[in-house]
Structures are given as C-alpha cells and as structure tokens.
Structure 1
C-alpha cells in the first residue's frame, strides 16, 4: 500500500520567499527518490508573501493542482499586511482550513517547514490527531525573537505562551532539522534528548550556472551600483542604515532596494525626507527579473538589525549572493559573520547599524566578480534536499 506524506508550508511557489523555494525543492527531491511509492499532499496558501506580487500572480495559482505524485492545495487567506496582528489572523485562517483539509485524509508522515513556529505547531497537532510520524524543519527561533521585537511588558507573556507551544512541538517530533548550525546553541540545551539534523538553505538551480563575465568595476563618473534584494522588515533594519549610508555616499553609490515588508514605509519616508536621489525602491519581482538585476549590480548588500537573537541566524539570501560571484557587503554579527569569513571570498563585514564601519568595509572590497565554484557545489540546494528527503523517507519506511 502506498504511503502518504503531508507537507505543510505557509509559502509555496509561485509565492516568493526562502520558505517557498525550500519547500518546492524538498517536494521535488521526495518525488525523485520515491516515485510510485508515496503520495504527497502539500497544504499551503494562495500567494501572499508580498501583497503586490500576490495580486499580480493570483490567477497563476490554482486552488488544487496535481503534479505527478504531488497534489497541492492552496487556501485563500484574508487580506493582510506584515504586522503581527494581521499575520496572526492570517495564520489562524490557514490553521482552520489546513486542519479541515488534512482531516479528509490519512497521513503516515507529516512534514512542516516553519519559520515563525506556528506551522510547526500545526504540523505537530495534525500528526498527533492522525497518529502519524512528524518531521519538523525549523527555519527561525521565533520565541527568542519576540524578546527583541516587543517591550518586556508584551514580550514576556508572549514568550511564555509560545515557549509552551515550542516545547510541545519539538518534543512531539520524530526528527527535527535546523536550517543553520547557529541554532544549536538555542535548541540543544533545551531539548537534550532530541537529535537535530542540519540541512541548510542552499543555492537554487537558477543560480548554479550564473554567468561569470569577468566583470570588474572601473571607477569614474558612474556610481557604484549596490543591490539589496529581500525582505524589508525589523529584522533587516534597512531603515536604520540605508538613508545614512546614501547620504554619506551620495555621488559614489546608487542603492537599489528590491523587496517589501513591515519597515518599507519607514525606509521610504526616510529616503523622501532626506531627498536621497541615490536610493531606488522597487517592489518584489519575479526570479527572471531579479537575475537580471544581479547581473547589473556591482556590489550586493546584506544587513541584519543589531538584535542578539540574530547572532544565531544565517540569511538564506547569502547563498544566492555568493553564487553570483559578485562582491558582498554585509552588516552581520555572530554565526553569519563567521560563516562569511570561512566560506565566502571577496566579502567584507561591518557591525550592524554602524555607518563608519560600513563605509570602511566598502573600501576593502575588490570590485570584481570572483568565481566561488567550491561554495556552489557544497551548497547546491538539490544535493542538500536529496539528503533531507532521505531523512523524511526513512520515517516513511518505519511506518508499519
């Protein structure tokens, strides 16, 4: 009898996010390794990661779609933005609909890939109800982050409540994967009996063969083209550094910020109030357009806000940045800083939100494209997902 896997992911293509691309790559790897032996149901949402992009692509996302051994069901969420309350309402809707749909079937293994904890909790609840095996893929430390995002009056009760949910989900899981070794310092002391695997983010196939043109920036009348592509929220803190950097480097650097998020308006207002004509804000774009922007960029910019919790994080954006061979200008601390030093050539580091240090780091960059073939091979997402799929399928084989 064919075994059944349920995969829960709040984001899935055509949505644009690291979680979306990761979930799709895992599904592809599962199908490749277990074709004809398992059926996979994916429960996800209609595109909603970025409102403008979701609106433009809603006609492309079928509510129910079948692709070989995979059936994808996308639930419709209420209109929401990136605020905490709006996101909570959206997830409550996803939980209700996903639980109802999951109850229509019987699953041997439930897989949940989760950044903000609650998808993991939902997966644990469905696996508990169905007496199935549970595989969790943890992509962020939600509970610890709450302490950075809110005042103690708000964060303390939230951390207690969500801490209970985290403990229940992690202890319920048969296997737990962490997306970065930086998370071990948080999870291992709390869950000493749990075994953790480390299947990281990686380089998508779109970036594996990124053209290496031997580009070298020639200083002159043209400003340096600096690109940031990704979320624009509290975690990235772009509103705290881009305006000041743009003011300091006016005439030398042209910033292009591609993305959306909870702090986009704060960034937009700072750019407008400073009359900064060297900052261009662009709504999220499809992968093909983003690749073209990477081609045009001289330097790729990365920044994480100066939160203690973010010292454990490894931004998924780093993998595609590195694959381009372009110089990387990164304001990060902790695990991410160590990873960049040991794994990525021609990348300079500065302390988050430190303007003087950032300018000094820019001066140290070699303004040329440098191939990083060993990095691309080591972190090819297809290879990482094959290994992760093997872990999932081992649970399937254990089901009697």
Structure 2
C-alpha cells in the first residue's frame, strides 16, 4: 500500500499541528500493512520567524519518505501565510502529479490543506482521510474586512463542503466541533480523536513532577492570595489573535505588579501589539522570550508557580480544546485559564486545580487567580486518559481501516 500524508507543519517545527502529525506518522508506521510506504509532504520549519531548526529537505527510510518544502520567512500575517501556503500547494501538486496512492491523509487547521488533500485524492481517484483541527469558516468574520465577509464565507463554505463530502472519514480534533459539522453534513462519518499529552510530558508526570510536587506541597500555603514571595506566572505558546494576550496580560500584570512576574515564551503575529500595549500601560513585570524546544521548556515549567492560558473572546474559540492545555495539565502545576463555553466546561470537568475566568476580563481573572491552590497536584488520571500515543494508535486504526 502507498499512503500520502499532507501536513503543513511537521517535526522539528514548533506547533500543535507538527506535534500531532509526528505522532500520527509514528502510529501509522506500526499499523500499516507489510511492505507499505508512507510519503509525507510538509514544509521546512517556518512556524516562527524567531525560531529556526535544522531539517533535511528529503529524508528516506525503509517505509517512510519525508519531503520538506522550503518557504520564505513570514511574520504569521494572513497575507504572507497565504503566499506561503500557495507555494506549498504548487509543490505538492507538482510532486504528486502522475503518482498513484491507495490513500491520501490531510490534517488541516485553516481548511486549505484539507482542500488540497481532497484535490490530490480526486486526481488520484483514491480515498481521503481528513483530520480537521479548527473551524476556519467561524474564524472568517474576524479575519476579513466587513465588506468581504459574506463573499468569503460563501466561497470558503463551498470549499469546505467539497472537501468534507469528498472524505471517507473526517476526524474532528475537538468534540466541541460536533455542533458545527454534524448538522451540516449529517451523512458524513465523523470521529473525535483529540490532541493529547506527549510522552515528553506524560512519562514525567509520575516521577519528576510528582516528586517536586511533594517537596513543594510540604512548604506550601493554601492559595495564592496569601503568598509572601513573588510568584512566577508562565505563558508558553503562540502570540496571535486567537490568544488575545494584548487584551488581558497588560491589565492583569499591572494589577499584580507587587505580587507576580510574568514570563511569555513564544512568538506570533500579535507580539508587536502585545509589546506596545505593555509599554503604553507602563508594565514592567512581563518578560517576553523567544520560542524554545519543548525539552528546554520543561525547565521553565519546573520554575513556574502557575501556568497561564488565554483564548480571545471570540465565538470561534468556544468549541476548541487548546493543545497547550494537555501539556500544562501534565506538569501538575496550577493552571489559570481564560476560556469559555465548551472549552471552559472541558477544563472544569477534567482538570483539577484550574481557575477558569471570562476571556479578556481582568477583574474575573484576578478573582479566579486568588482561588488557585499553590500546591502542585498530580493529574495521572487525566494524563492516562489523554496520552497522545494512545489516541494516535486509535486514529491510525481508523486510517488503516480504509485500506482494507
């Protein structure tokens, strides 16, 4: 069997899509029939302009071939990301022209990789498996000028409908997506394999983190409201419109300037806006650092007192499960999360010692901050339920079922 896998991000790039794709490839290599081959067409690391990682444009092993397409540097803006994707799509179409595949897999957050996968599958007259990580149509009102929204939604809605109905199986990365997709595509077969906790974090929960938790808890106080030392609050991840850090971090950091220091590790299209807002509000207790490898990030998690997460107060973010949430939960650290709707319910029902507040609401954030317990808590049950390797094994079983 010959399988094609399209993913815009792949190891060693830093992104949720990269980590997910790498895990799925590993699972597929253990599940595909004997003498099968898996071709991955992706890009060279390009998630952040401030982060570079060396990777070969072409890698080949016994049954895996990885093609990485070089792209121009970009600042995560919509226009330059669109140009980068067009270059990727042209190379994919050229590279797959004349090839035959038994199955095409595409994982997509902004819809177009799914559309590209559907086109390649149609041209090859083969089956298609889609992994949808976001609802792009619901993002459009926040991305397009008002005069273009109606046309954009109709245009991309038609592309979404064509890609979804072309697929044999569509996986949704969040159960929250069901309310959008199932009514629109009632005859489509959907599965729900979420993001999860990667081994670099899950394998440490019962050892390194829990050992440190025991040490900390023996000297801890009940909550942050009575803390006498300066607290260290860490955010690690993308700094984009979806996170809305510029709308929350200056306010909470200013109000906590006598109690806490904030560290932001990451980059993205809204970093300059965040830095401007911090300057304008006279905030001195926020340190923004460049992205780093996840192994290095473990040390930063160890040093933090609380982990911060925030999604902008836009309706399109009410259905997601942020991939960073799984990583945070595995550390045992207290989590301070600005989320709502389905996302808030998921947090409250599944994760202990998490303070959930209304996004972009400084007063709500500070109220919940003081309710957190300083004591670190092992979340082994959550980690075991959402181990990435276990989730990807089940996902790989669904993919392989299409080859039988």
2:151 alignment counterpart: 157
CA contact (8 A) 1:35 1:69 kept: no
1:243 alignment counterpart: 250
CA contact (8 A) 1:348 1:365 kept: yes
Q: Within the alignment, does 1:197 sit opposite 2:191 as a pair?
A: yes
Instruction: Give 3-state SS (helix, strand or coil) of 1:52's partner.
Output: coil
CA distance in 1, matches of 2:370, 2:86: 48
CA contact (8 A) 1:36 1:69 kept: no
Instruction: Give 3-state SS (helix, strand or coil) of 2:243's partner.
Output: coil
2:4 alignment counterpart: 6
Instruction: Give 3-state SS (helix, strand or coil) of 1:276's partner.
Output: coil
Q: What pairs up with 1:168-317 in 2 under 5 angstroms?
A: 168-210=162-204, 211=208, 212=210, 213-214=212-213, 215-216=216-217, 217=220, 222-317=229-324
CA distance in 2, matches of 1:364, 1:385: 35
CA distance in 2, matches of 1:104, 1:377: 44
Q: What pairs up with 1:128-143 in 2 under 5 angstroms?
A: 128-143=122-137
CA contact (8 A) 1:8 1:43 kept: yes
Number of matched pairs: 391
- Specify which of 141, 160, 165 is matched with residue 166 of structure 1: 160
CA contact (8 A) 2:9 2:43 kept: yes
CA distance in 2, matches of 1:285, 1:154: 37
Instruction: Give 3-state SS (helix, strand or coil) of 2:291's partner.
Output: coil
CA distance in 1, matches of 2:308, 2:121: 41
CA distance in 1, matches of 2:291, 2:98: 36
CA distance in 1, matches of 2:144, 2:362: 25
Q: Within the alignment, does 1:119 sit opposite 2:113 as a pair?
A: yes
Over the aligned positions, Cα root-mean-square deviation in angstroms equals 1.2
2:390 alignment counterpart: 383
2:63 alignment counterpart: 69
CA distance in 2, matches of 1:262, 1:146: 17
- Residue 220 of structure 1: CA displacement? 5.5
CA distance in 1, matches of 2:201, 2:98: 39
CA contact (8 A) 2:357 2:365 kept: yes
Instruction: Give 3-state SS (helix, strand or coil) of 1:26's partner.
Output: helix
Instruction: Give 3-state SS (helix, strand or coil) of 2:318's partner.
Output: helix
CA distance in 1, matches of 2:175, 2:184: 15
CA contact (8 A) 2:172 2:194 kept: yes
1:52 alignment counterpart: 50
Single out whichever of 205-214 and 174-183 deviates more from structure 2. 205-214
Instruction: Give 3-state SS (helix, strand or coil) of 1:301's partner.
Output: strand
Instruction: Give 3-state SS (helix, strand or coil) of 2:12's partner.
Output: coil
Identify if the C-alpha distance between structure 1 residues 35 and 254 changes in structure 2 by more than 3 Å, giving closer, same or farther.
farther
CA distance in 2, matches of 1:158, 1:302: 30
Single out whichever of 110-119 and 156-165 deviates more from structure 2. 156-165
- Residue 66 of structure 1: CA displacement? 1.6
Single out whichever of 222-231 and 270-279 deviates more from structure 2. 270-279
Q: What pairs up with 1:348-363 in 2 under 5 angstroms?
A: 348-363=355-370
CA distance in 2, matches of 1:334, 1:341: 11
- Specify which of 85, 99, 106 is matched with residue 100 of structure 2: 106
Instruction: Give 3-state SS (helix, strand or coil) of 1:156's partner.
Output: helix
CA contact (8 A) 1:112 1:137 kept: yes
Unaligned runs of 5+ residues in structure 1 are none
